[in-house]
Structure 1
Amino acid sequence: MASVAQENPGTSPTSAKLKLYSYWRSSCSWRVRIALNLKGLPYEYKAVNILQGEHHSEEFTKLNPLQFVPTLVDGDIIVSDSLAILLYLEDKFPEHPLLPDDLHLKAISLQAAALVGSNIQPFQNLAILNLIGEKLGPEERLAWPKHFIEKGFTALEKLLKGVAGKYSVGDQLTLADIFLVPQVFSARRFNVDMSKFPTLNRINQELAELPEFQAALPERQPDAKA
């Protein structure tokens, strides 16, 4: 597993950097990279090559017995699962908050994050896709995630349509935005027609212009493949 120090936009180094175990194309890792950038937190990037099975290594399994990325190490504290990591960062580093103070908007932001994290992304997980391809064939391997992305985005479009401003929930960047961007990228990989989701598509275009989101892009990570 390779290690690279990441300096995020507009930050200065701290004495005890966070460590993020990440894979460049992992949408769950991508969420955490965005959040670290938005909060201005420098971190050490620990690359875990999923295709080479490094997530099954003894070293990584000690950190995360479920053998998934991302995993965040903060001194003696180890946190895995992207939503758990994001909420940990929100509690420990309250500057640049990623949840609104308004309880209604906070609930919507959490709903949006949970909708993507629990009802869309798991159905495109590489292990699931490989199993579907093995059991049902290559056509179902592509049709399966597309079905669940479109179903989830239909619900997400309705959820955000009435509260969206410049971003998903008004004009404040929230967890809803952090979960949206990697999922739109994945939707396009599976040939989802984003014109059917105008609110989501517009918000994604706004977010794509922000340097913190640009720095988190898969192709800009140290372990990215040409």
Structure 2
Amino acid sequence: MKLYSYFRSSAAYRVRIALNLKGVDYELVPVNLLKSEQTKDKYKNIQPQGLVPALEVGNNRLIQSMAILEWLEETCPDPAIIPGDAWQKARIRSLANIISCDIHPLNNLRTLKYLKSEFTISDEQKNQWYQHWIKTGFDACEQQLGDDRFCIGDTPTLADICLIPQVYNALRFKVPLTDYPKIQKIHQHCNELNAFIDASPEQQPDSTL
């Protein structure tokens, strides 16, 4: 199994966490987004969108991190990252989707590059854009969270897998987290686990940190 990844990609970070939680061995293949390796024909033959991650299993390939995570849950069900009854599963997906569908697409690298190139916004304006959408999404997440150790329950789920990379990005862009005590608590608890530590950008072979 091969995972095509970039160390700072939130989407790839999610998949690394899930693979670690489930104890799945994989080969990591770095794709340098800053050098535009994702736009080369060699990589686009693997991932036609020119994005990371992509997961290669034998002769088969999967793209889109959320689809990869759902496939991992189906094929490697223990430990479950979408546990519980239908209501709990829906709550987990709801939190995960706030991040993966509403925050992340507005703040990923290609969006920020397009804003800079097509609308000639300044770095300050870019950071304001980034912080606005983080705060909008985190406001909603904080309201949805309870007093559990993790997003929902006492074990990490798909929601935590999506949340932690987004918190990493929020801190990188200097978004204050003082208004989000529940998110801060969950961030601390997740980063006490080896699955999250080993998936972090700093621990990746292509890291420049």
**Bin for the TM-score computed over the shorter chain:** over 0.9
Q: Which runs of 5+ in 1 are unaligned?
A: 1-17
Query: 1:108-119 maps to which residues of 2 (within 5 A)?
Result: 108-119=91-102
Partner of 1:43: 26
- Report the number of matched residues: 207
Q: Given the two structures, how large is their TM-score scaled by the length of structure 2?
A: 0.96
**Identity level (%):** 40
Q: Is structure 2 residue 203 aligned with structure 1 residue 207?
A: no
Partner of 1:150: 135
- Where 1:79 maps in the other structure, the secondary structure is strand
Q: Is structure 2 residue 126 aligned with structure 1 residue 141?
A: yes
Partner of 1:125: 108
Query: 1:73-88 maps to which residues of 2 (within 5 A)?
Result: 73-88=56-71
Cα shift at 1:132: 1.9
Q: Which runs of 5+ in 2 are unaligned?
A: none
State the one-letter code of the partner of 1:188: L
For 2:59 and 2:75, the matched residues in 1 are separated by 14
- Where 1:156 maps in the other structure, the secondary structure is helix
State the one-letter code of the partner of 1:38: L
Partner of 1:15: none
Q: Given the two structures, how large is their TM-score scaled by the length of structure 1?
A: 0.89
Give the alignment partner of residue 219 of structure 1, picking from 194, 198, 202: 202
- Where 1:24 maps in the other structure, the secondary structure is coil
CA contact (8 A) 1:133 1:140 kept: no
The alignment yields a C-alpha RMSD, in angstroms, of 1.1
- Where 1:127 maps in the other structure, the secondary structure is helix
For 1:215 and 1:20, the matched residues in 2 are separated by 15
Partner of 1:100: 83
State the one-letter code of the partner of 2:176: D
For 2:71 and 2:88, the matched residues in 1 are separated by 20
For 1:41 and 1:137, the matched residues in 2 are separated by 42
Cα shift at 1:127: 1.6
Cα shift at 1:186: 0.6
* 1:91-121 deviations in Å (ceiling 9; x for gaps): 1111211011222221111011111001111
Give the alignment partner of residue 176 of structure 2, picking from 189, 193, 196: 193
Query: 1:25-44 maps to which residues of 2 (within 5 A)?
Result: 25-44=8-27
